[in-house]
Amino acid sequence: MNFKIESGKGVELVLVPENFEGLNVCDETLGYLKESFSPKLGNILTILGPGKNERVFVGIGKESNLDHLRRAIFAGTKKIIEIKKDMKFSLKKVSSFEKEDVLKVLVEGALQATYKFDKYLKKDEDEDERETTVFIEGAEGLENLVEEYKNVLEGVFVTRDLVNTPANDMYPEVLANFAKEDLGNLGVNVKVLGKSEIEALNMEAFLQVARGSDKEPKFIIMEYLPVANEKPIMLVGKGLTYDAGGYAIKPAGSMASMKSDMGGSAAVIGAIHALAKNKVKKNVVGIVAACENLISGDAYKNGDIIGSMKGLTIEVVNTDAEGRLTLADALYYAATKYDGKVIVDLATLTGACIVGLGMYTTGSVSNCDENYNKIAKAFEKSGELVWRWPTFEVHREAVKGTISDLLNSVSGGGGSITAGLFLENFVEERPWVHLDIAGPAFGDSQKGYLPKGATGVPVKSLYEFVKNY
């Protein structure tokens, strides 16, 4: 998709509020709209034909907000792409928001309509791969903003592609090689540690999870450090490129989508991609412990007591609560090897988070009000949803063992909270925000501009968080 800040020929995308106010159309067209069109969010009316002003009208509903604009622009752009036309949009006709904010959601909403994951589909030789041009009126001087948000969406699409790739083609070595090539080309220093180097660091919790697979685990360190003498923001992503559950094996229906269990690591890579491509002047270090959780004669078992890089022992109550074990060593590494401003971890961690918050909301546990509030603001600005769980001492006590220091899984409910507080033991009291993206990272069906499969949540929010930190 091309964006041009100029007047041009194409189908005009017109956003229609529920009260029809502020529309720059003739009385005849306004009367027709009021009679024939219900401007509920996402509803579309198309007026095409020779000798007419070709338009696609899209409803934005009663509550006019930036996310409604984003969703309406997505729907309208998708329609214009289907009819193989170029598009034009006037910022001057959306006066209720700052011009820069409208331009951001225009670029995002339009680009969201272009995403598809079709690398495994047979190509139709007759398929028209026409590229749509979007002409934007009223955005003179804002060319850099267009480019910035194109790069942010590129980071979102990087994340989606990584997560959507099945596990036979996406395993720790492939993920590590992608990070080295993609981010290395953007000036990011990427280091990859193999099994012997991971063993030398005494990352026993991580290694125990990896034992069941013959794919070698990889520990990926991504340093984007454009500013001298500034502490970095640490981003730690869960990197289970496939999770069968280990000996607490998942049923087939639950296992089929477990290529998505590396959504946290993919979001870290996608966010750093966007930050580096836009040359954001903030230091960031990404950490990923990548492995598979499978069954073999050497796999770790329910009831095992294992060690960790920190030295704490952990009773493995459930081998399908493996993500927190890999994150334990990754977080401790981030907390002790770097003097970071804050640690943010992302993980498709618990089904309990989906039970509590549904498929579209990220659950959070944090030891720092200031940093959680910054995260929440970034989510709101990006049109993504987050909710902070309450935490009490009873939850912290629940993850303590009797024959080990910690338990990797506990009964009694509150599983998303106790999983987060298990991780708290490994951040060494540094400012920390945990994000459980089990719901929003991957969907069984399309929801607005979020496609079926990998969504890329929360790359946009991470970008805003780091940029504005």
Give the β-pairing of 11-17 and 87-90: parallel
Q: What is the pTM of this model?
A: 0.97
Number of domains in the chain: 2
Using alpha carbons, select from 117, 342, 114 the residue that is nearest to residue 234.
342
Residues 350 and 245 in one domain: yes
pLDDT at 286 (0 to 100): 98
Residues 271 and 406 in one domain: yes
239-288: pLDDT as tens digits: 999 999 999 999 999 999 999 999 999 999 999 999 999 999 999 999 99
The phi, psi pair for 344, rounded to 5°, reads -120, 120
Q: What is the average per-residue pLDDT within 218-244? A: 98
Residue 125 lies in a domain: no
CA Rg value for the chain: 24
Residues 155 and 70 in one domain: no
187-207: pLDDT as tens digits: 999 999 999 999 999 999 999
The b/e string for 273-298 (b: 16+ C-beta within 10 A; e otherwise) is bbbbbbebebbbbbbbbbbbbbbeee
pLDDT at 52 (0 to 100): 67
Residue 271 lies in a domain: yes
Residues 271 and 347 in one domain: yes
Using alpha carbons, select from 309, 166, 195, 179 the residue that is nearest to residue 237.
179
Residue 133 lies in a domain: no
Residue 344 lies in a domain: yes
Tell me the helices (H) and strands (E) count for the chain, helix number first: 15, 19
pLDDT at 39 (0 to 100): 93
Q: What is the average per-residue pLDDT within 119-143? A: 89
Which of 23-32, 37-46, 379-388, 445-454 has the least mean pLDDT? Answer: 23-32
pLDDT at 62 (0 to 100): 82
Using alpha carbons, select from 239, 235, 229 the residue that is nearest to residue 272.
235
> What is the rounded CA–CA span in Å between residue 220 and residue 289?
6
Single residue among 59, 93, 114 that ends a domain in this structure: 114
pLDDT at 51 (0 to 100): 61
CA angle 435, 438, 444 (to 5 degrees): 145
pLDDT at 53 (0 to 100): 82
41-96: pLDDT as tens digits: 999 999 887 766 899 999 998 877 899 999 999 999 999 999 999 999 999 888 78
Q: Which of 93, 99, 250, 388 is catalytic?
A: 250
Q: What is the average per-residue pLDDT within 131-145? A: 96
Q: Where are the alpha helices (DSSP H) in 263-312?
A: 263-277
Residues 92 and 173 in one domain: no
| CATH number reported for the structural domain that contains residue 14 in this entry | 3.40.220.10
449-460: pLDDT as tens digits: 999 999 999 999
Q: What is the mean pLDDT of the chain?
A: 96
pLDDT at 160 (0 to 100): 98
Residue 141 lies in a domain: no
Residues 103 and 154 in one domain: no
* Helix-helix angle 143-164:172-184, to 10 degrees: 170
Compare 8 and 432 and report the one with higher pLDDT.
432
Residues 109 and 154 in one domain: no
Reply yes or no on whether 452 is catalytic. no
Residues 58 and 198 in one domain: no
Residues 391 and 456 in one domain: yes
> Is it the case that residue 386 has pLDDT exceeding 70?
yes
| CATH number reported for the structural domain that contains residue 187 in this entry | 3.40.630.10
pLDDT at 95 (0 to 100): 77
Residues 110 and 219 in one domain: no
pLDDT at 23 (0 to 100): 85
> Is it the case that residue 126 has pLDDT exceeding 90?
no
> What is the rounded CA–CA span in Å between residue 361 and residue 224?
28
Q: What is the average per-residue pLDDT within 90-104? A: 91
What tokens were used for 101? 């904010």
Q: What is the average per-residue pLDDT within 292-299? A: 98
Single residue among 114, 133, 159 that ends a domain in this structure: 114
Give the SS3 label for residue 28.
helix
> Per-residue DSSP letters for 195-258?
HHHHHHTT-HHHHHHHTT-SSPPEEEEEEE--STT-PPEEEEEEEEEEE--TTSPPPHHHHTTG
Residue 105 lies in a domain: yes
> What is the rounded CA–CA span in Å between residue 441 and residue 460?
12
pLDDT at 204 (0 to 100): 98
Q: Which amino acid is at 413?
A: G
Q: Which of 324, 374, 430, 460 is catalytic?
A: 324
Cβ atoms of 418 and 431 closer than 8 Å: no
pLDDT at 124 (0 to 100): 81
Q: Which range marks the domain in which residue 13 is found?
A: 2-114
Cβ atoms of 332 and 419 closer than 8 Å: no
pLDDT at 156 (0 to 100): 98
Single residue among 92, 114, 136 that ends a domain in this structure: 114
Q: What is the average per-residue pLDDT within 3-27? A: 91
The b/e string for 337-366 (b: 16+ C-beta within 10 A; e otherwise) is ebebbbbbbbbbbbebbbebbebbbbbbbb
> What is the rounded CA–CA span in Å between residue 398 and residue 317?
13
Residue 346 lies in a domain: yes
Q: What is the average per-residue pLDDT within 295-317? A: 98
Reply yes or no on whether 78 is catalytic. no
Q: What is the average per-residue pLDDT within 118-128? A: 84
Residues 67 and 215 in one domain: no
> Is it the case that residue 291 has pLDDT exceeding 90?
yes
Residue 215 lies in a domain: yes
Residues 364 and 462 in one domain: yes
> What is the rounded CA–CA span in Å between residue 436 and residue 327?
12
> What is the rounded CA–CA span in Å between residue 110 and residue 132?
10
pLDDT at 390 (0 to 100): 98
